[in-house]
């Protein structure tokens, strides 16, 4: 066993020595790889990542209650399923919200500014016109632009837009934007980290701030949907009942003033009936106002609150791999390619030529 291990070590050393002996070949591979690495490093645009860290509101009936808490409570004999309700939108599915096509397309009209230009432009314009692409993606970008131009010409001629379809350009753009958004949720602490990566650091910070605001609006709209519907219903009913009460009051006042000195039983009975009807409508109006206030309070109660642990700030260092690292990776690949060529491929090529 010791001799086998020693022979293997000798073989490895021999292979390494055979590669190092041919220094010219090694130098050619390393130089070519380094040149390619420099070209790739210079052609690859730098990207910056901005992030915001949030702590969501934890409540027994809403955001932050998950199955782990229920399982932990059940070990102590506490049943939380009957006394609590779980939101359909909870922190674990926030990444799915950010990858939604409707959510991403709603970001197109966001006004952004770049680090070197304070002129406002839309996020859609920034993504389609101001993004630098490596030279090896130019053919694909030309095809996409040609398809986008033909589609724009077709829409300009008055063709109807099918809301159930999405153009290839929009689909690819939404997929690209979705890949730039990262949402991480710590299951133990429920801390949410939202980050966005862009070629401009200021755009990255603006977009990550927009993302966390849009997320809060999205969750607020969901959690307050029922209360807002109730509020609008009671508001409309209260306005209608107020009009009916005022109309009944005017009829009562006019009739009472016209028959102030009348002693007829029919007049007295009618006056009492009109007064009762006016009072009933007034009571109904007050009840509707009370229900409207309760619904408004329910909206405030169900509105989630997010505590910002770390505010979005413009990053000054790129988050992408540095150019030196890219060059070193290509140099390492050159050394590996030289080793494969010297040890295996060269002999195989010579054998094939002889045959």
Which of the pair, 167 or 114, is modelled with greater confidence?
114
Q: Do the bridges between strand 181-185 and strand 192-198 make them parallel or antiparallel, or are there none, so unpaired?
A: antiparallel
Which of the pair, 136 or 45, is modelled with greater confidence?
45
pLDDT at 185 over 50: yes
In this structure, what DSSP letter does residue 343 have? I
Instruction: For residue 4, name the pLDDT band (cuts at 50, 70, 90).
Output: low
The fold of 47-156+165-224+306-319 is: Bacterial polysaccharide co-polymerase-like (3.30.1890)
Nearest CA to 220 out of 51, 70, 87, 38 is that of 87
**What six digits make up the tokens of 8?**
């293997």
What pLDDT digit, counting tens, does each position of 78-101 carry? Answer: 444 444 444 556 677 888 888 888
Percent of the chain with pLDDT over 70: 76
Instruction: For residue 262, name the pLDDT band (cuts at 50, 70, 90).
Output: low
pLDDT at 160 over 70: no
Q: Can you tell me whether residue 15 is helix, strand or coil?
A: helix
What pLDDT digit, counting tens, does each position of 272-327 carry? Answer: 888 888 889 999 999 999 999 999 999 888 888 788 888 888 888 888 787 888 88
pTM over 0.85: no
Cα–Cα dist 281/238, whole Å: 10
* 65 within 8 A of 84, measured Cβ to Cβ: yes
């Amino acid at each position: 066993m010791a001799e086998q291990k020693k022979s293997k070590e000798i073989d490895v050393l021999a292979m390494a020595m055979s590669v190092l002996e041919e220094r010219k070949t090694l130098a050619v591979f390393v130089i070519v790889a380094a040149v390619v690495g420099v070209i790739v490093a210079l052609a690859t645009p730098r990207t910056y990542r901005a992030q915001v860290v949030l702590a969501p509101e934890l409540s027994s009936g809403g955001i932050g209650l998950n199955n782990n808490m229920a399982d932990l409570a059940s070990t102590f004999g506490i049943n939380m399923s009957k006394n609590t309700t779980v939101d359909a939108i909870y922190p674990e599915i926030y990444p799915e919200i950010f990858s939604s096509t409707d959510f991403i397309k709603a970001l197109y009209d966001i006004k952004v500014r770049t680090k070197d230009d304070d002129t406002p432009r839309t996020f859609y314009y920034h993504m389609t016109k101001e993004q630098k692409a490596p030279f090896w993606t130019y053919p694909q970008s030309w095809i996409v632009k040609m398809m986008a131009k033909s589609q724009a010409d077709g829409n300009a001629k008055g063709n109807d837009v099918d809301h159930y379809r999405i153009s290839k350009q929009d689909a690819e753009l939404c997929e690209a934007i979705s890949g730039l958004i990262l949402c991480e949720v710590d299951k133990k602490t429920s801390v949410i980290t939202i980050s966005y990566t862009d070629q401009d650091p200021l755009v990255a910070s603006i977009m990550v701030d927009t993302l966390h605001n849009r997320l809060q609006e999205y969750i607020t709209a969901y959690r307050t949907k029922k209360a807002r519907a109730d509020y609008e219903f009671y508001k409309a009913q209260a306005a209608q009942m107020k009009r009916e009460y005022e109309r009944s009051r005017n009829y009562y006042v006019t009739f009472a003033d016209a028959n102030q000195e009348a002693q007829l039983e029919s007049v007295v009975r009618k006056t009492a009936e009109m007064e009762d009807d006016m009072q009933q409508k007034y009571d109904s109006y007050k009840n509707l106002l009370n229900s409207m206030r309760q619904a408004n309070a329910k909206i405030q109660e169900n509105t989630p609150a997010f505590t910002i642990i770390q505010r979005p700030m413009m990053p000054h260092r790129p988050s992408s791999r540095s150019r030196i690292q890219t060059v070193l990776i290509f140099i390492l690949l050159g050394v590996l390619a030289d080793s494969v060529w010297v040890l295996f491929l060269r002999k195989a090529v010579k054998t094939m030529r002889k045959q």
